[in-house]
Chains A and B, each alone.
Chain A
Amino acid sequence: MRVIIVDDEPLARAVLREHLNAHADVEIVGECANGFEAVKAIAELTPDLVFLDIQMPKLDGFEVVELAGAKTHYVFVTAYDQFALRAFDVHALDYLLKPFSRERLAQALAHARARLATPVSATQGDDALRALVSDAQARHQPIERVLIRDGARVQVIPVARIDYVEAQDDYVAFFAEGRQWLKNQRMAELESQLDPKAFLRVHRSYIVNLGAIARIEPTGKDGHCAVLKSGARIPISRSGYQKVRDLMR
């Protein structure tokens, strides 16, 4: 079993390493001290199992899961108690509460071995993961930043800097500071994650940052568009215009 340890504290990694060394079938293929390294390492090393801390610099454990995907199994290792984890303890493979005992770790490993021996169908794992991630997102709604994975690199965009979002087939394109980023996500899901006070879906394919709007202009016969401070013109649908007017009132 190929394993990666992710924790920002050297001593916490040391405990895991020491305990894992007692298990002959476990091979530690990597150790990461932050979320960026973890996303990269998981993509490159494709481990069977990741021991993942939640509180870390740059990206927290849930964000790592969101970015690194469902190809691997995760065991959360955290000092945060059951109360905080109750919402998603059914989805993650396991979680260990710091400090944990040798027996408890062995249990988690046994659990992982059993799961690896009977591979669940990809879609099933996907669903569980999606549920895990959306749970994690529900904890800090509305989202404050958008994470976009670009190969092994991770782009973090604070939502305040986003001008608008455009739906493009299975993707959404984020336009911020004159640049564009693509992310595999559904428009409706994104809309539910953004702060409704700051972002408005003005069109089937467009969500716009209200703070970025310079003015609203009529286009042709009873059509409208939003002109952004950056100069971009965003079409507004009829129902979108209704929403804008309700907001202005």
Chain B
Amino acid sequence: MHGVFANWRAALLYLLAWLMLGLLLAAMLAVSGAGWGASLSFSVPLAFVYAYATGFSAYYVCRAYPLDRRRPLAIAAGVGMTAACAAALWCAIGAAWNSLLAALAPEGYSPVASAPVLASMFGLGVILYGLAAAVNYLLIESERVRQLETQRLQMKLMAQDAELRMLRAQVDPHFLFNSLNSVSALTSLDPAAARDMTVQLAEFFRHTLGLRADRKVTLERELQLVRHFVAIEQVRFGDRLRFEADIDPAAAQCLLAPMLLQPLVENAIKHGIGQMIDPGLVRIEATRAGSILRIRVENDVDPDGAGGDASAPGTGLGLVNVRQRLAADHGHEASAHWVRRDGRFIVELALPAVTAFEPHTATDMEGI
């Protein structure tokens, strides 16, 4: 079912309106001299017949002449033509119905459909058809608006969902469980170290929980987070994990999306150092060259294994995520590349260098 017949309530209202129109027509005929009985039995069924005909055909006509894609003249012509045809047909049916009634009930029925009555029926038919078309256009438009609204809501939901997933994916929950296991071991082996580690864990989570997706942080502050993370992992991995950071002071003040480096370092440890038997180095280097901030995160990888390879399961996702976030923030001005070379896995980021003190920054900062 379509248009006004799409649900029974609308269909009922529509037919009720047409009943009124039929009664009105009957009243007009009765006033002009015909008997009430004859007028009613003539006009009410005709009204319903036309209600059905316009209800269905107007919907398809409206579909064929969409308001937003056809020129108004074409729409008017199209609707006008169909309206005239429909009205003419209606008149023909009216004349036939009149003769049929006259033939079936010759004594009680005096014919009502004279030439002027049929002519006014034609005019009325065209107008009513036009009205039906207008109603259908309204229905189609409101449906379209409703769909757009649902679509907009869905998009918003998807965006929020993606952000949530991103943030969740960034701190691997197993990191927490592994760390707690280490704390559990340290409580009897080295209570002071256990206390230190709990403090580091608390700092790390306080820091990440305080982050807001829409606020930029300085590289220095992001690095603070990374250092907490590395300190915790160093307790777990012992001598296997070595860490170096070489940050240009000019780069340290630059702003970037929070949690941009942390997943890179997490990857470096999990897929790089975690897959090696021998000790490995994770190194961060950041320089500022004019308007460009360059950040490089590199780590040793197991020479035999697939560890650290972007194709290895689990690694690629975090990297792609970082690339997408950079693209969302800076478009073509930022880039992320990664390569495995000479037993090392290297990720290089380039993004516009912006500090909070430079006038063209539109972004706000969080706690310096």
Contacts and interface: CB of A to CB of B under 8 A. Distances in A.
B106 interface: no
Interface residues of A, number: 25
Interface stretch (B15-23, B115-123, B181-189): B181-189
A80 B173 CA distance: 9
Given A11-B186, A58-B302, A98 B277 contact: no
Interface of B: 173-174, 177-178, 180-186, 188-189, 235-238, 274-277, 302, 304-307, 313
Interface string A192-217: 00000000000000000000000000
B277 A33 contact: yes
A12 B302 contact: no
Given A11-B181, A156-B304, A18 B188 contact: yes
Contacts of A55: 274
A15 B236 CA distance: 12
A156 B177 CA distance: 30
Nearest to B237: A9
A98 B238 contact: no
10 contacts: A10-B238, A11-B181, A12-B181, A15-B185, A57-B305, A58-B304, A98-B181, A99-B183, A140-B313, A158-B306
B181 A79 contact: yes
B305 A11 contact: no
Contact of B182 (A11, A18, A80): A11
Given A18-B188, A57-B277, A9 B182 contact: yes
Contact of B306 (A8, A18, A144): A144
Contacts of A57: 274-277, 302, 305, 307
A68 B306 CA distance: 22
Contacts of B274: 8, 55, 57
B185 A12 contact: yes
A9 B178 CA distance: 9
A216 B286 CA distance: 53
B177 A98 contact: yes
Nearest to B307: A57
B304 to A, nearest CB: 6
Given A9-B237, A11-B235, A14-B189, A99 B181 contact: yes
The 8 closest A-B CB pairs, nearest first, are A79-B177, A98-B181, A11-B185, A99-B181, A15-B185, A79-B174, A11-B182, A14-B185
Contacts of B188: 18
A156 B307 CA distance: 14
B345 to A, nearest CB: 15
